[in-house]
Structure 1
Amino acid sequence: MIYRFGMILICLFLLGACGETKPTGKIKKVGLLVPETVNDQVWGTKGFNGLLKIHKNIDVDVFYKEGMNSEAIARRAVEDFEQKGVNLIFGHGSEYAEYFNDISSEYPNIHFISFNGDAKNKNTTSLNFKGHAMGFFGGMVAAHMSKTQNVGVIAAYEWQPEIEGFYQGAMAENKNTKVSIEYVGNWDDEIKAVELANDMMDKGIDVIYPAGDGYNVPVIERVKERGLYVIGYVSDQSDLGESTVLTSTVQQVDKLYEKVAEQYNKGVLKPGNLSYDFQDNVISLGKYSPNVNNEFIQKINKQIDIYKETGKLPK
C-alpha cells in the first residue's frame, strides 16, 4: 500500500526494465527523495521527470520514495538506497541540504544532491536556481499587461530572490506600477494563498504572481474565475488557461537533473553550492498568452538574450 500527502511511502518503486542496466560511468544507480508526492504536477513532478531523463539518457536504474518529510525518514530511505546499490541521491527540496549534511559522512561512496540549501561536506552538492532574473522578467510582463497598474506577489517566504526581481522588473516596465507582496509562510498552504489572492483582487490587483509551487495551481484557478491574469511559477502553466496565464517563470528541473547526473557520471561534479540561471538553459519564460502582443514578446525575448550574454538586466 502506498501512503501519500506527507505520510511515509513504504514501497520502493523501480523504473524501467526488469533486468539490471550496465552503467558505463561513475553512476551505479540513482535515487530520488521527495517530501510529498511526484504527482503534484509542479515541483514533485519535475523531479520525477528529471529522474526519468537520467534513466533514459544515462541508462541506469533509478528509484524514488515519496513522503520523505523528516530527517529520520530520509535516513531510513538512504540506508535502503545504499543496500540497493544507489550512489547518487537527489533530495528534492531545500530541507534535504541539512539532512544530507548530517547523513553524508556515514555514506562516503554516495553523493548527495539537494536544492537551495548549504551543502557542507565533500560528498554533498546543493543546486540553487538564481530566481532574481526570472522574477524580473515575470514582473515586466505583469506590469505591461496590468490595466489597473496594480500587480501582486503571493510568496512563500521573504528570502525568495524572485520577489525582489519581480518588483524591479515591474518598475522597469512601468514606474507607475504598484506592487503588493504578501507571504503565505509555507509552500503548501492553499487555503491561505487563495484567501490572499481574493483580497488582492478585491483591492484592484489584476495580475498575480503566486510564487509557491504548492499553492500556485489553486490560485491560478481562482484568478481564472475572476477573469484576471497570473504569471505561472516553476512550470509552464499555460495549460491551466492561456487567457489567464500570461507566461510562466520556469525552472527546468528535469534538465538540471540530467546535467548534474552527467557531470557526476564523468567524475566532474563539484561539491558545495552551485548556482544556475538563464545562461545555463535551465531557467526560462514559458509560453506566452495570446493576450500578450507580439511586439512586447519580441522586446522581452531580446532583453533575455542580452541578459544571457552580458548578465545585465534592463533599467
Structure 2
Amino acid sequence: MKKQMSMLIMIFLIFSNALFLLTGCQTNASVEKIESVGMLIEHTIHDQTWGNKGYRGLLDIQEEFNVDVYFREGVQTQQQVNIAVEEFANKGVQVIIGHSSTYGEYFNQIQDSYPDIFFIYVNGGYSAQNLISLNFNSLAMGFFAGMVAGEMTETNRVGIIAAYEWQPEVEGFYEGVLYQNSDAHIDIQFVNDWDEKDLAMQYYRAMLSNNTDVIYPAGDAFSVSIVENAMSDGIYSIGFVNDQQALGGQSVLTSTIQHIDKLYVYAIKELQQGDVKGGIYNFGFKEDVITMGPYSEHLKEYFKDQLDHVIEDYIENGLLPHEE
C-alpha cells in the first residue's frame, strides 16, 4: 500500500513539474526581438515617389530599431518574389515588407512555408496569421484634392489620371470636385500601371487640348512627368504621395501625402511589442499617415480655412462633408 502511495505521489510530482514547465513557457512567451528586416520594391528606389519613399522608410526602421536591413529592386513576379524571400530567409530576416499592393497575392501563396517570417504589404485584402495588410484610407485624400481642383478651375474642366480603377482616391476626387463645384466636368483616365509614363502623357495632352486646367496624377513615376509638364504649360496640378511643389513650384496647389515611411516604422514597433497580429489594418488622416502638403500661394485664404476646417471635422467624426 505504501509502495502504491509512493508511486502515486511520484507520478503526481512528475506531472506537476511537467505542467509547471509547460505553463511557465506559455506565460513567459514574448515576441522575438526583431533584428533584421527586408523590403521588396517593384521598380526602383530612385523614382522620387513611391519606391524612394518606401526605401526611406526602411532606413528609418534601421535607425529607429538598430536592425539589419536588406532590399531588392525590380521584384515584379511570383518567381522573383519566391527567390528574394528564400534569400532573405537564409539571411535570417524576420520581417519582409512588400512595398506594393501586388505583393499581397504573392505573399499569400508562400506565407505558410515561412511561419517564422512576418509578411507586410500595403493596400490589399489578403491576410493570414503571419500576413499583414496596411491599408491607406485614401478616399478622403482624393476628396480633398477634388475640393481643391473644383475651387481652382477657371474652365470648369479638371482631370485625374490614375493607375487603376480600384484606387479609392479616384472616387474621392470625383465627389470632392462636385461638392465644391457642381458645374465642373471631370475627365477620368486609367493607365493600368503605376509607372506607365507614355500613356499617361497621352492622356495629359488630350486633357490639355480640352482646356483642362487642374490635373491630379494619381500614380507613381508618371506623376512626376505630369507635374513638371503642368508647370511648363501654365496649368495647375495636385501632387500625389509626396509633396511635389519642389518639382512644380507654386503651380502645385497642394499634395496628398502618404507617409508610408512612418507607417512602416509604426508597424515594426507594434510587431516588436506584440501588439499586432496578422490581419488587415486601416490608417489615414486621424493617424497622421496621410496629410495634405503645403498650400500654393494661389489658393485664397478663405478656401484654405474652409479646407482645414473640413479636414479637422473628418479627423474628428470620420465623415466627409457630403456624408454628414
TM-score (structure 2 length as normaliser): 0.88
1:188 aligned to which of 195, 198, 213: 195
Q: Deviations over 1:171-197 (max 9, x none)?
A: 111111111111112211101101101
Q: After alignment, is 116-125 or 28-37 more displaced?
A: 116-125
- The aligned residue for residue 100 of structure 2 is 93
Provide the secondary structure at the position in 2 that maps to 1:121.
coil
Aligned partner of 1:79: which letter? E
Indicate the larger mover: 287-296 or 139-148. Answer: 287-296
The structure 1 residue matched to 2:243, chosen from 236, 256, 259, is: 236
Q: In 1, are the aligned partners of 2:158 and 2:215 still within 8 Å (CA)?
A: yes
Verify: 1:282 aligned to 2:303, yes or no: no
Give the Cα–Cα distance (whole angstroms) in 1 for the partners of residues 127 and 262 of structure 2.
Answer: 24
Distance 2:242 2:297 in 1: 18
Q: 2:125 aligns with which of 118, 123, 126?
A: 118
Q: Counterpart in 1 of 2:11?
A: none
1:12 corresponds to: none
Report percent identity of matched pairs: 44
Partner of 2:139: 132
Mapped pair 1:210 → 2:213: no
- The amino acid that maps onto 2:312 is D
Contact kept in structure 2, 1:25 and 1:266, CA below 8 Å? no
- 1:168 paired with 2:175, answer yes
Contact 1:194 1:222 in 2 (8 A): no
Moved segments of 4+, more than 3 Å = none
Is contact 1:119-1:271 (8 Å) kept?
no
SS in 2 for 1:301: helix
Distance (Å, rounded) in 1 between the aligned partners of 2:101 and 2:147? 28
Compute the displacement of 1:83 (Å): 1.4
Structure 1 residues 216-240: Cα deviation after superposition (integer angstroms, max 9, x where no partner) = 1111122112100011111111111
Task: Report the equivalent of 1:152.
Answer: 159
Higher helix share: 2
**Which residue is 1:292 aligned to?**
299
| 3-state DSSP of counterpart to 2:121 | strand
Between the aligned partners of 2:268 and 2:32, the Cα distance in structure 1 is: 10
SS at match of 1:63: strand
Task: Give the match's secondary structure for 2:38.
Answer: strand
CA contact (8 A) 1:184 1:193 kept: yes
Please say if residues 146 and 207 of structure 1, whose CA atoms lie closer than 8 Å, have aligned partners that are also in contact: yes
The equivalent residue for 1:56 is 63
Aligned counterparts of 1:277 and 1:114: Cα–Cα separation in 2: 16
The answer to whether the 8 A contact 1:26-1:267 is kept is no
Residues of 2 paired with 1:35 and 1:93: CA distance? 7
> What is the DSSP-based 3-state SS (H/G/I as helix, E as strand, rest coil) of the residue aligned with 2:76?
coil
Correspondence 1:270 to 2:277: yes
Is contact 1:101-1:119 (8 Å) kept?
yes
- In angstroms, what is the RMSD of aligned CA positions? 1.2
Asked if residue 304 in structure 1 is aligned to residue 311 in structure 2, the reply is: yes
Post-superposition offset of 1:102:
1.0
Gaps of 5+ in 2: 1-30
Aligned to 1:82: 89
One-letter amino acid of the counterpart of residue 301, structure 1 = D
Counterpart amino acid of residue 67 in structure 1: G
Secondary structure at 1:181's aligned position in 2? strand
Residue of structure 2 in register with 1:109 after alignment: 116
Name the SS of the counterpart of 1:222 in structure 2.
Answer: helix
Alignment check: 8 A CA contact 1:140 1:166 kept: yes
Q: Distance between the aligned counterparts of 1:162 and 1:155, measured in 2?
A: 9
- Gaps of at least 5 residues in structure 1 are 1-23
Q: Post-superposition shift, 1:283?
A: 0.5
Q: Is the 8 A contact 1:150 1:206 kept in 2?
A: yes
1:39 maps to 46
My pick for the range that moved more, 129-138 or 216-225, is 216-225
**Partners of 1:194 and 1:137 in 2: CA distance:** 24
Distance in 1 between the 2:210 and 2:102 partners? 35
Task: Judge conservation of contact 1:232–1:247 (CA < 8 Å) in 2.
Answer: yes
How far has the Cα of 1:25 moved from its partner?
A: 6.0
SS of 2:237's partner is strand
Whole-Å separation in 1 of the counterparts to 2:172 and 2:86 = 40
- In the alignment, residue 107 of structure 1 is paired with which amino acid? Y
- SS of 2:249's equivalent in the other structure is coil
TM-superposed deviation, 1:146: 0.7
Partners of 2:174 and 2:305 in 1: CA distance: 21
User: Partners in 2 of 1:270 and 1:297 — Cα distance?
Assistant: 39
